Structure 1
Amino acid sequence: MQSNTSRGGDASPMRPRKPHPVALSAALAAIGPLAGSAGTPYLPVVTGLTLDSRSVLPGDVYAAVPGATRHGADFAGQAVRAGAVAILTDEAGAAIVARAAAAADAAMPPVVVVPDPRRAAGPLAGVIFDSQPEGPGAAPTLFGITGTNGKTTSTYFLTALLAALDRTTGLIGTIEIRAGADAIPSALTTPESPQVHSLLALMRERGLDAASMEVSSHALEYGRVDGVRFDVAGFTNLTQDHLDLHGTMEDYFAVKATLFTADRCRRAVVLVDDDWGRRLAATADVPVLSLRTEPDAGAQPAADWTVTAVRPSGLGHAFTLEGRAGERLQVRTGLPGTFNVSNAALATVMVLASGVAVGELQHALDDHDPFTTEVPGRMQLIGEEPAAIVDFAHNPDALRRTLASVRRPGGRVIAVFGATGQRDESKRPVMGAVGARLSDILIVTDDDPHDEDEAVIRRAVRAGADAAIREEGLACEVLEVFPRAEAIERAVALARPSDTVLVAGRGHEVWQEVKGVNLSLDDREELRSALTRHGFSVLSRPGIES
């Protein structure tokens, strides 16, 4: 058996250049009960672990897990040819590997059978990659943010604030993965657990001071952060979304709450503007700093930190952040929307919770204006006259907050959005009603229909809008325009310089999935082009989207 001792920089941008060889038997012993008996006569020294047979490097463990249609063990031969020196799987996978080996009359590397290979993969990868060794300064300070809305912007705010404090940073999120200066587009909000651990090891190898990560409910449900322990975990809010996966809001909350346990984080910052946040702050079994950012959050007990004196500042807002012990911070965000006050406040308090002093933090805020950083596809300003904005709002609460924040004095709001196919159907008419209440012109169009009939999805959104107009006496004009590029064109054609055009739902995404085909579609580019064709100027230039 031969294992590599140096991975070239082009071998895998997600992996450290110098692996951490470890005896597989010792790594299995380190994860305890997750390994089960895991008895085999010989276990090699290994240098990596992956769930994807196409990503195997020499010296890897290939974790063959059950999939939706195929078992990962079906691809064990491919993994072995790529250099896998051991296979981690369940009883069913071991049987598949044995049959394939017999049929091919081929030798296979050791097969380690564990009760649940997906759940074992994360902690085992943590040991193999040595991603979070103990001891002060041994690994980057790790921040994780969960919640329905605001995760992406809050992680970008965290990254910008840490950079203002002269910390080198990494980022793992919906839009991109960064390890210092290197940026890589991301396909999942949170990558699979072995990739997360290899990224953390890469960041440690590069000497980064801190890293921020979005932690979705899917990541928690599917074990993508198993074996990861965050120094500070943050909670934004909980509103209707992903009920196609979780079933009920109670179950959705229960999954989110698993991040705020002692084996997953050391301390937490929780926004307590809603009942879910207050409940989480009261039940988390780690030290919690509570944060209140909305004055209409009800007559609730005082929070550890409170946002006060919110006032306009350019396109965004300035505000004061007051601590329970009398501390004060003056904070500003240049991004539109009062919800970005909440995102900026959360990032600030999370950095405080990591041990940064108030005075040092205030200097960074004053000198660098970190919360005016552009976040791709999140309240991204494309033009000013009319105000032309692209946002990721794709559930009722996010859409309500976004639409409520973009109206300008004397101007109309023209909104363009749809709903995603093969996702929570119950939110479609709710989103339509929200759009009708807060827009002057609502253009219902397609989002990502996936394999659903686009007309059926549009009809559900429009039904909610029409019902709200009829029952509440609203003056909103509703149009149904498709495909999406034509809907954006129509919105700009109807706009006057004093209006706001909001294109919501897809944000940074550059592909639209229709019946299994990915069509090139970037809302920002479509909006830029439409503005130019109609004689309006544009502001933003393509960045990560291209």
Structure 2
Amino acid sequence: MSEQNDAVSIPTGNPSATDKPGFRPAVVAPVPLEAIAASLGIVLPPDSGGTSVTGVSLNSRTVEPGDLYLALPGATRHGADFVTQAVAAGAVAVLTDEDGARQLALKDLAVPVLIVGNPRAAVGTLAALIYRSRPLDGVSPTLFGVTGTNGKTTTTYFINSLLRALGMNPGLIGTIEILAGGEAIPSLLTTPESTDVHALLALMRERGLEAASMEVSSHALSFHRVDSVTFDVAGFTNLTQDHLDLHGSMDEYFRTKAELFTSARARRAVVTVDDPWGRLLADEAGIPVTTLSATPGSDADWTVESTKPRGLGTDFELRHRDGMALRVHTGLPGDFNVANAALATIMVLDSGIDPSVLQAALDSHDPFTVSVPGRMQLISDAPASVVDFAHNPDALARALKAVRPRSPGSRVIVVFGATGQRDQGKRPTMGAIAARLADVVIVSDDDPHDEDAAAIRSEVIAGARAARESEDLDCEIVEAYPRDVAIRQAVELATEKDTILIAGRGHEVWQEVKGVNLALDDRVELRAALTARGFKVSTDERIES
């Protein structure tokens, strides 16, 4: 996903992309411009005395009266191009770089302009100062941050659900939605821009929320979206190939993630050590670490033991090296959801919750059976039909293994694709994984962006066919597009005892093609196709047909 500011263009077709998000607290005490200049170590422009700021925005379309407008450089446009609109909307001051200042010198601006060498690096500091988002007065919400390649969304939902089971009123900042008490706010980014993050934290504090969980992506760390945010407990799920278009190598990807586990960003951590990256992180983290493993018998501080299937989910124990044990259940399928539930449990425990109180909440509320939109979301029982966000090799393999039916003669039918203008190296790998783990492989489109959709599909199909031939696999490989046609084809091929997995897009409701956002929700399309064939579907009210 792209940064939502004036320095980049936003694809057409998505009306929410330009709406003011409503993230802000109702009351913000004015901050003198002198204090802002002092925090940046710069001299206040002449005739700027008396100006005070009550908000901050990167986007001229979200500016409110009293804002400091941040005119940042971007890949295609400079934020200085939009200063006139920002001032018209009520901006009382502008912060920019030298290039922006040269552009603004040609404009007759009636507001002061602050100039810094790297304004992007200053955004978090300014937002924290203006919104007073994390004051050291003991009243800020306890903040949980989750990072890793896969499992961030589910783990934050699990944390949120467990906190509710404990009687708290928690907030949530993530891929799917933002919860600050009351109505959900749709999310445009895995982690919002730092201006919105700090406004949200201030809003949560204003509304009396006691805790909040947040997804922290590598993009968020790279683009300074969580600067000046200190998490009480940071959690790590896993690290597998993804986002190499941004980071270049797995080592650089890891180093970016590892920034969260420093004293500047978190107070303590829970790290899953079931892959080499997790073990390395636990060894190198600059904060106290509790280690966790979903592999029985490991030498981690906490291990998952005594797993037993119950329905689609799993009962298990979390056992500490000193003998303490917690009984846990998740109703979501897959070993990876056991790992997600385990991480959520230990992160909440490490925030200071008494183990007996935590166990009582686990026993009485079954918090890890919560439905997570687009994450192993069950649409129908017969055929078992699931929509999941699995969009990289590891996640696709985990999802396919999780949905494999136990009944003899049952087949797995998967529909998936690969995202355009992203890590191209994973495309044939994902095709090979599908060929190994599914009986019918239907390759379709994900979000092509500005790439040729047919070329993307061909790379995925090449990987699937190569694996089928070299490994003598017995699977059918089909190319079908557009995506709604592929979903209907999967349902047409299915019997009641088969399993359908629609992978890659999860909760997303827009498909970006050549700069245009087309309405497309895999859950809606799957429900419609199942209904047309007379199959019974779920009644989840969050899936809007």
TM-score, with length taken from structure 2: 0.94
Between the aligned partners of 1:332 and 1:545, the Cα distance in structure 2 is: 29
Relative to 1, partners in 2 of residues 1:274 and 1:11: Cα closer, same or farther, differing over 3 Å?
closer
Between the aligned partners of 1:388 and 1:294, the Cα distance in structure 2 is 28
1:22 CA drift (Å): 1.5
TM-score, structure 1 normalization: 0.94
Task: Provide the residue aligned with 2:496 in structure 1.
Answer: 497
1:334 pairs with 2:339? no
Q: Is the 8 A contact 2:301 2:320 kept in 1?
A: yes
Q: CA shift at 1:207, angstroms?
A: 0.5
Moved over 3 A (4+): none
2:400 alignment partner, SS class = helix
Return the offset for 1:327.
1.2
For residue 28 of structure 1, report the CA deviation from its aligned partner: 3.8
Q: Secondary structure at the match of 1:290?
A: strand
In 1: Cα distance, 2:417 partner to 2:349 partner: 39
Residue 39 (structure 1) shift = 3.5
Q: Aligned equivalents of 1:85 and 1:377: distance in 2?
A: 41
Q: Is 1:251 matched with 2:252?
A: yes
Q: Which residue of 2 aligns with 1:21?
A: 30
Q: Report the equivalent of 2:176.
A: 175
Structure 1 residue 20, shift from structure 2 partner? 2.0
Question: For 2:233, what is the secondary structure of its paired residue?
Answer: strand
- Contact 2:21–2:185 at 8 Å: present in 1 too? no
Shift of the alpha carbon at 1:542? 3.6
Output aligned runs, 1:518-533, within 5 Å.
518-533=517-532
Residues 435-471 of structure 1 show CA distances to partners (whole Å, capped at 9, x for unaligned) of: 0000011111111111111110110000000000111
> What is the correspondence of 1:173-252 to structure 2 with a 5 Å cutoff?
173-252=174-253
Closer/same/farther in 2, CA of residues 343 and 241 from structure 1, 3 Å limit = same
1:450–1:515: 8 Å Cα contact kept in structure 2?
yes
Deviation for aligned residue 1:95: 1.3
Q: Distance in 1 between matches of 2:423 and 2:357?
A: 44
> Hey, what's the Cα distance between the residues in 2 that align with 1:279 and 1:110?
48
Q: What residue number does 2:365 align with? A: 368
Q: What residue ranges of structure 2 are gaps of 5+ in the alignment?
A: 1-18
Q: Which residues in structure 2 correspond to 1:81-480 (within 5 Å)? A: 81-101=88-108, 107-136=109-138, 138-295=139-296, 302-409=299-406, 410=408, 411-480=410-479
Cα distance in 2 for partners of 1:158, 1:133 equals 23
1:87 and 1:113 mapped to 2: Cα distance? 9
**Mapped partners of 1:364, 1:293: distance in 2:** 21
Larger displacement relative to structure 2 (252-261 or 74-83):
74-83
Aligned residues: percent identity? 63
1:219-265, Cα deviation, whole Å (9 max, x unpaired): 10001111111111101000000000100000000100001110101
Moved more, 396-405 or 320-329: 320-329
CA distance in 2, matches of 1:395, 1:172: 22
Give the CA deviation at 1:68: 1.2
* Superposed displacement of residue 12, structure 1: 5.9
Task: State the Cα distance separating 1:325 from its structure 2 match.
Answer: 2.0
Choose which of 45, 56, 62 in structure 2 pairs with 1:49: 56
Q: Distance in 2 between matches of 1:544 and 1:55?
A: 29
Deviation at 1:535, TM superposition (A): 1.5
Is residue 58 of structure 2 the alignment partner of residue 77 of structure 1?
no
The residue identity in structure 2 corresponding to 1:495 is A
Q: Deviations over 1:48-72 (max 9, x none)?
A: 1111111111111001100111110
Deviations 1:317-350 (A, max 9, x none): 1100011222110000001111000000000000
Structure 1 window deviating more from structure 2 (123-132 vs 513-522): it is 513-522
Kindly provide the amino acid, as one letter, of the partner of residue 37 in structure 1.
I
Listed as ranges, the gaps of 5+ residues in structure 1 are 1-9, 102-106
1:84 match: secondary structure: coil
> What letter is aligned with 1:387?
A
Counterpart Cα distance in 1 of 2:544 and 2:238: 27
Do 1:448 and 1:512's aligned partners in 2 also have CA atoms closer than 8 Å?
A: yes
Aligned pairs (5 A) from 1:508-519: 508-519=507-518
- The SS at the match of 2:107 is helix
Asked whether the 8 Å contact 1:390–1:524 carries over to 2, the reply is yes
**Letter of the 1:434 counterpart:** I
> What SS class does the counterpart of residue 125 from structure 1 fall into?
helix
Name 1:5's counterpart in structure 2. Answer: none
- Counterpart in 2 of 1:4? none
Cα deviation for residue 11 of structure 1 reads: 8.0
| Conserved? CA contact 2:272–2:343, under 8 Å | yes
Q: Does the CA contact (< 8 Å) of 1:510 and 1:545 recur in 2?
A: no
Deviation at 1:79, TM superposition (A): 0.9
